[in-house]
């Protein structure tokens, strides 16, 4: 399915560069325009060096990430999906094991668990935050449970304190899927540094996106860092000596160089996303729609970095096509929860098993929130949503929002 990916492939043609009337979901060309010289310089530097695998560019970016996040170890890899896979491998999770996670996420979260022969055990979400509901976790734990993988969905931190508490009491580990939430904080702590290991993605549509695929593993545990280093590079520390069965999952030097340029801008980009979120809230409130559009909730003590700004309406599909007709791109993350995906049918789930996630899948709609979005564009988005709701002539507020 890979909805995120398909969408990002469309951002080129939909870019506002060249057509001011279209509002894309994401405008990577606008971002590139603002950092063009530095990016091209860094690319040239790598090409001139002809050192493409690991080396100084990758080490430098890893150090910057570790420093930025305040973590002891930051280990890059080929994608966010691989970061999850490598973490589970580092802990020896596989056949016969169970790993608890959310059904309302990108496929890779549960896919990495299943790929290793372990069983993804889904726990329903909190309807306000779309993140895994800690209250459902305890009863999902069995003697086979090895780990809990909360996702900081859309850029909002999952409710980590109760999750860590349950995990500590029941002797299971916690792995953060922070792919959508780089820079977000939970009671002051950067997400990805709160549990045993944090997994990040540099897929182009993430808040820190490369020129292709990339990922990062973050941990404070030296033994796990050592295992991750081995596993990402064929299980070897020195050439042609293989201590364990690993993978080829490294971050390209080209990606590291480009991401290094972008990392310096990340705080400003996150602030711009937060400013845009505040503007949406203001404009919707101004039109008396704050109650009829399910605006994203931000939990106390959480800093949301808005990889997506997701509203919630009952007539979602009709609103989406109405906006599309008016030149406004939106996307549905995610149109089907994972327990109802064909790839996970072997788990034996049915519609109704995770009703909160299923209702969210039917009602959520992500509006453009990218940093370069301007006030007039946001006004237009809100006006078009308002026009649709007026035309509908009935309240669309969801029972779950
Ligand atoms: C993007 C994403 C991933 C996977 O990252 P890739 O770099 O695309 O492999 C995993 N989990 C979540 C929640 C994501 O959004």
Q: What does pTM read for this prediction?
A: 0.94
Q: Tell me how far apart the alpha carbons of residues 368 and 276 are, in angstroms, rounded to a whole number.
A: 9
Q: Which fold has domain 33-263?
A: 3.40.640
Distant-in-sequence, close-in-space partners of 228: CB < 8 Å, separation ≥ 6? 73, 75, 77, 86, 87, 90, 197, 217, 219
Q: Is the Cβ atom of 105 under 6 angstroms away from ligand 1?
A: yes
Distant-in-sequence, close-in-space partners of 174: CB < 8 Å, separation ≥ 6? 147, 148, 149, 150, 160, 163, 164, 167, 195, 196
Q: Tell me how far apart the alpha carbons of residues 113 and 148 are, in angstroms, rounded to a whole number.
A: 11
Q: Which fold has domain 19-27+265-391?
A: 3.90.1150
How far apart are the CA of 268 and the centre of ligand 1, in A? 23
Distant-in-sequence, close-in-space partners of 184: CB < 8 Å, separation ≥ 6? 152, 155, 156, 157, 178, 190, 191, 302, 303, 304, 305
- The answer to whether 132 and 151 have CB atoms below 8 angstroms apart is yes
Report the nearest atom of ligand 1 relative to the CA of 81. 9
Report the nearest atom of ligand 1 relative to the CA of 5. 8
How far apart are the CA of 160 and the centre of ligand 1, in A? 19
Q: What is the separation of C-alpha 159 from the centre of its chain, rounded to a whole number of angstroms?
A: 16
How far apart are the CA of 185 and the centre of ligand 1, in A? 19
CATH 3.90.1150.10 placement within the chain: 19-27+265-391
CATH 3.40.640.10 placement within the chain: 33-263
How far apart are the CA of 228 and the centre of ligand 1, in A? 18
Q: Is the Cβ atom of 337 under 6 angstroms away from ligand 1?
A: no
The best mutation among 2, 109, 205 to test binding of ligand 1, ranked by most ligand atoms within 8 Å of the C-beta, falls on: 109
The best mutation among 175, 179, 180, 232 to test binding of ligand 1, ranked by most ligand atoms within 8 Å of the C-beta, falls on: 179
Matching residue, tokens 């802990």:
91
Q: Is the Cβ atom of 363 under 6 angstroms away from ligand 1?
A: no
CA dihedral angle for residue 100, residue 103, residue 107, residue 113, rounded to 10 degrees: 20
Q: Is the Cβ atom of 31 under 6 angstroms away from ligand 1?
A: no
Q: Tell me how far apart the alpha carbons of residues 235 and 89 are, in angstroms, rounded to a whole number.
A: 11
Asked whether the bond before 224 is cis by omega within 30 degrees of 0, the reply is no
Phi, psi (rounded to 5 degrees) for 169: -65, -35
Report the nearest atom of ligand 1 relative to the CA of 203. 7
∠ CA 26-30-35, nearest 5°, is 125
Q: Tell me how far apart the alpha carbons of residues 363 and 358 are, in angstroms, rounded to a whole number.
A: 9
- The answer to whether 61 and 260 have CB atoms below 8 angstroms apart is yes
Q: Is the Cβ atom of 308 under 6 angstroms away from ligand 1?
A: no
How do the pLDDT tens digits run along the chain, 401 residues long? Answer: 334 444 444 444 444 444 668 999 999 999 999 999 999 999 999 999 999 999 999 999 999 999 999 999 999 999 999 999 999 999 999 999 999 999 999 999 999 999 999 999 999 999 999 999 999 999 999 999 999 999 999 999 999 999 999 999 999 999 999 999 999 999 999 999 999 999 999 999 999 999 999 999 999 999 999 999 999 999 998 888 999 999 999 999 999 999 999 999 999 999 999 999 999 999 999 999 988 899 999 999 999 999 999 999 999 999 999 999 999 999 999 999 999 999 999 999 999 999 999 999 999 999 999 999 999 999 999 999 999 999 875 444 544 44
Residues in a beta bridge with 136: none
Q: Is the Cβ atom of 108 under 6 angstroms away from ligand 1?
A: yes
Q: What is the rounded radius of gyration, in angstroms, for the C-alpha atoms of the chain? A: 21
How far apart are the CA of 27 and the centre of ligand 1, in A? 19
How far apart are the CA of 180 and the centre of ligand 1, in A? 7
Q: Tell me how far apart the alpha carbons of residues 316 and 131 are, in angstroms, rounded to a whole number.
A: 20
Tally of CB atoms within 10 A around 195: 23
């Amino acid at each position: 399915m890979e909805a995120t990916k398909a969408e990002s492939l469309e951002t080129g043609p939909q870019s506002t560069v060249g057509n001011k009337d279209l509002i894309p979901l994401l405008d990577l060309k606008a971002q590139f325009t603002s950092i063009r010289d530095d990016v091209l310089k860094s690319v040239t530097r790598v090409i001139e060096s002809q050192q493409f695998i690991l080396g100084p560019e990758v080490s430098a970016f890893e150090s910057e990430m570790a420093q930025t996040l305040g973590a002891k170890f930051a280990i890059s890899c080929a994608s966010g999906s691989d970061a999850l896979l490598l973490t589970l491998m580092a802990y020896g999770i596989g056949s016969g094991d169970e790993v608890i996670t959310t059904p309302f996420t990108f496929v890779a979260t549960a896919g990495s668990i299943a790929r290793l022969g372990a069983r993804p055990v889904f726990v329903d979400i909190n309807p306000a935050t779309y993140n895994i509901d800690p209250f459902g976790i305890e009863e999902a734990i069995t003697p086979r449970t090895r780990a809990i993988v909360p996702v900081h969905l859309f850029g909002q931190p999952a409710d980590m304190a109760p999750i860590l508490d349950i995990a500590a009491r029941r002797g299971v580990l916690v792995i953060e899927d922070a792919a959508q939430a780089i820079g977000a904080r939970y009671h002051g702590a950067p997400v990805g540094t709160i549990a045993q290991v944090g997994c990040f993605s540099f897929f182009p549509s993430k808040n820190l996106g490369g020129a292709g695929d990339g990922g990062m593993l973050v941990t404070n545990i030296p033994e796990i860092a050592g295992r991750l280093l081995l596993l990402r590079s064929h299980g070897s520390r020195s050439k042609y000596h293989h201590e364990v069965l690993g993978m080829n999952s490294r971050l390209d030097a080209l990606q590291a160089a480009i991401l290094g340029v972008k990392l310096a801008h990340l705080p400003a980009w996150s602030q711009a996303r937060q400013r845009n979120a505040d503007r949406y809230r203001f404009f919707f409130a101004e039109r008396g729609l704050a109650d009829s559009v399910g605006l994203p909730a931000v939990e106390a003590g959480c800093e949301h970095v808005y990889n997506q700004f997701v509203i919630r309406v009952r007539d979602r599909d009709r609103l989406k096509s109405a906006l599309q007709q008016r030149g406004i791109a939106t996307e549905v993350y995610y149109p089907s929860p994972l327990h109802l995906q064909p790839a996970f049918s072997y788990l034996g789930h049915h519609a109704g098993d995770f009703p909160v996630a299923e209702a969210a899948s039917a009602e959520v709609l992500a509006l453009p929130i990218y940093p370069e979005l301007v006030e007039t564009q946001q006004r237009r988005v809100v006006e078009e949503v308002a026009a649709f709701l007026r035309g509908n002539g009935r309240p669309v507020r969801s029972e779950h929002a």
